[in-house]
């Protein structure tokens, strides 16, 4: 029943379809071309009583999704902050599915547990974090925030004499959260899940460079002696701003605050000698988050949490039952994540880091930053465009101006959204929009290992053609 032939036809078919997808990206539109109705009509088959041969399942699946798969693995996808996937990382991800281990505890998948130990150590070395920090592999930065802030909640309340794991939050001392206005929305959602609530957040204003100023933080901290979490940014989503960690963290320390750093993509700057200075002092924080599925170019479902105090981390999450099996000296993943059953998501990270090495990661980071700079400045120089923010790293902003005399900011907003939509509709490149300081902008984000100069030329040319249309 389980001979090689049983698998070959279906897996070979998947490989062929995957290769068509991955190698054909230059010729295909970057955005989706199928409408919602079309996709529902094709995929919304009636539930059948009888099954279908696996070969047909895969063939029909690939036929049905046609036009509904964004070409984000290719080099001209600049929307949100979305990386592609490295060959070694993708292949390793397939093997994770083939091995089908439950990477919850060492006993369920010994090799994957050890791979996770090694990959966690490598990541700390790449980011320059303390080698004593604990870590967790979770679905993404969203859950990494939940993990890190769960550890923060544990320690801050323990210090106030409250066992939150035992007693919950009813009657507990209130925790306040100080963070910059440029935080990612996933921070608030983590606080909602942890029972701290949106109202625990006090949003502090940023300077012109999107950074929290030391005097602003010092002033906010001086207000109260409440247990406090300070959340800082290593690369914000619009302009890639870095808070001045070396100045801010010692101020937070003086007030016994827990400092958490959202470094979803920006922490990768640590891998590059050219950009590392942006992170000066980041290692002084209490917890950090990052994604492999963005800039490291692993497939999705790959985020990392790091906590300087392993006792707080473990105190918040460790889980023991009578039916688990423990191996002396082993690291059980279940003690560090909010999950039970999970895939061996450290394996693609292990493979990606092996494929690139320190130099390859530095080169990936620097190439993306260079391409982002070229895209923003070259599109920004086109008639009818203007640079709003040149990238510090790999994120920048451009705006498109309505040429009519007397055009208002609202007209420029509309024009900006229309130009973004037209560039995406051309199929030549994909960008997203954002509202930054009250104005609509096109976000330029480069995270893909495959993006090359020819991709930048094609994207700039596509923007030029859209702006040159008489009716735009
Ligand atoms: C993407 C992102 C997040 C959320 O990460 P997920 O991996 O999507 O959960 C949080 N913060 C920043 C700055 C991000 O760019």
Q: Given this structure, which CATH class describes domain 91-353?
A: alpha beta
Q: What integer pLDDT is reported at residue 13 of this predicted model? A: 96
Q: What integer pLDDT is reported at residue 1 of this predicted model? A: 59
Average pLDDT over residues 181-202: 95
pLDDT in tens, 27-69: 899 999 999 999 999 999 999 999 999 999 999 999 999 999 9
Report yes or no: 225 and 160 within 8 Å, Cβ to Cβ: no
User: 80 alpha carbon to ligand 1 midpoint, in Å?
Assistant: 10
| Domain ranges within the chain, ordered by starting residue | 91-353
Average pLDDT over residues 264-287: 98
Report yes or no: 396 and 386 within 8 Å, Cβ to Cβ: no
Residue 135's contacts (CB-CB under 8 Å, 6 or more residues apart) are 120, 123, 124, 304, 305, 306, 307, 336
Integer Cα distance of 152 and 287 in angstroms: 8
pLDDT at 323 over 80: no
For residue 143, the ligand 1 atom closest to its alpha carbon is 9
Residue among 144, 145, 184 whose CB has most ligand 1 atoms within 8 A, to mutate: 184
pLDDT in tens, 371-409: 999 999 999 999 999 999 999 999 999 999 999 999 999
User: 397 alpha carbon to ligand 1 midpoint, in Å?
Assistant: 18
Q: What integer pLDDT is reported at residue 5 of this predicted model? A: 85
Which of 166-180, 202-216, 317-331 is least confident?
317-331
pLDDT at 270 over 90: yes
Average pLDDT over residues 240-266: 98
Average pLDDT over residues 118-125: 98
Q: What integer pLDDT is reported at residue 3 of this predicted model? A: 82
β-pairing, 385-389 vs 395-400, is antiparallel
pLDDT over 90 for what percent of the chain?
Answer: 94
Residue 66: closest CA among 23, 19, 17 = 17
Q: What integer pLDDT is reported at residue 327 of this predicted model? A: 83
Q: What integer pLDDT is reported at residue 431 of this predicted model? A: 98
Residue closest via CA to ligand 1's atom 1 equals 264
User: 239 alpha carbon to ligand 1 midpoint, in Å?
Assistant: 14
Q: What pTM did the predictor assign?
A: 0.97
């Amino acid at each position: 029943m389980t001979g090689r032939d049983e698998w070959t036809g279906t897996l070979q078919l998947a490989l062929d379809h995957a290769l068509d997808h991955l190698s054909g990206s230059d010729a295909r539109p970057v955005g989706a071309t199928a409408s919602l109705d079309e996709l529902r009509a094709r995929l919304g088959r009636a539930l059948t009583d009888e099954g279908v041969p696996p070969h047909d399942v895969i063939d029909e699946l690939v036929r049905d999704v046609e036009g509904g798969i964004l070409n984000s693995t290719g080099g001209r996808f600049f929307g949100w902050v979305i990386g592609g996937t490295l060959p070694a990382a993708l292949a390793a991800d397939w093997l994770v599915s083939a091995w089908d281990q439950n990477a919850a505890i060492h006993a369920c998948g010994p090799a994957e547990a050890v791979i996770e130990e090694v990959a966690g150590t490598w990541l700390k070395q790449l980011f320059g974090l303390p080698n004593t920090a604990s870590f967790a592999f979770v679905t993404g930065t969203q859950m990494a925030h939940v993990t890190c802030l769960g550890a923060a909640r544990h320690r801050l309340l323990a210090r106030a004499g409250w066992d939150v794991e035992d007693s919950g939050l009813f009657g507990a001392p209130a925790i306040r959260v100080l963070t910059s206005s440029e935080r990612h929305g996933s921070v608030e959602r983590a606080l909602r899940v942890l029972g701290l609530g949106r109202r625990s957040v006090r949003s502090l204003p940023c300077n012109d460079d999107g950074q929290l100023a030391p005097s602003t933080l010092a002033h906010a901290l001086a207000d109260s002696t409440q247990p406090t979490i300070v959340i800082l940014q290593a690369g914000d989503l619009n302009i890639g701003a870095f808070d001045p960690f070396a100045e801010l963290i010692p101020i937070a320390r003086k007030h016994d605050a827990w400092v958490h750093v959202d470094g979803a993509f920006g922490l990768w700057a640590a891998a590059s000698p050219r950009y590392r200075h942006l992170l000066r002092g980041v290692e002084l924080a209490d917890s950090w988050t990052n994604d492999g599925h963005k800039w490291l170019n692993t497939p999705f479902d790959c985020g990392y949490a790091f906590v300087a105090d392993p006792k707080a981390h473990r105190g918040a999450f460790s889980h023991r039952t009578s039916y688990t099996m423990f191996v002396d000296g082993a690291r059980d993943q279940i003690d560090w994540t909010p999950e039970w059953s999970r895939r061996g998501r450290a394996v693609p990270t292990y493979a990606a880091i092996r494929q690139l090495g320190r130099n390859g990661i530095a080169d990936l980071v620097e190439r993306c930053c260079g391409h982002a700079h070229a895209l923003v400045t070259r599109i920004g120089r086109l008639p009818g465009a203007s640079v709003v923010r040149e990238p510090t790293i790999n994120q920048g902003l451009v705006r498109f101006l309505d040429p009519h005399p007397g055009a208002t900011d609202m007209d420029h907003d509309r024009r900006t959204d229309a130009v973004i939509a037209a560039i995406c509709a051309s199929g030549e490149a994909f960008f997203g929009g954002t509202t930054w300081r009250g104005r609509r902008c096109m976000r330029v984000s480069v995270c893909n290992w495959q993006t090359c100069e020819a991709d930048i030329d094609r994207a700039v040319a596509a923007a030029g053609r859209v702006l040159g249309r008489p009716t735009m």
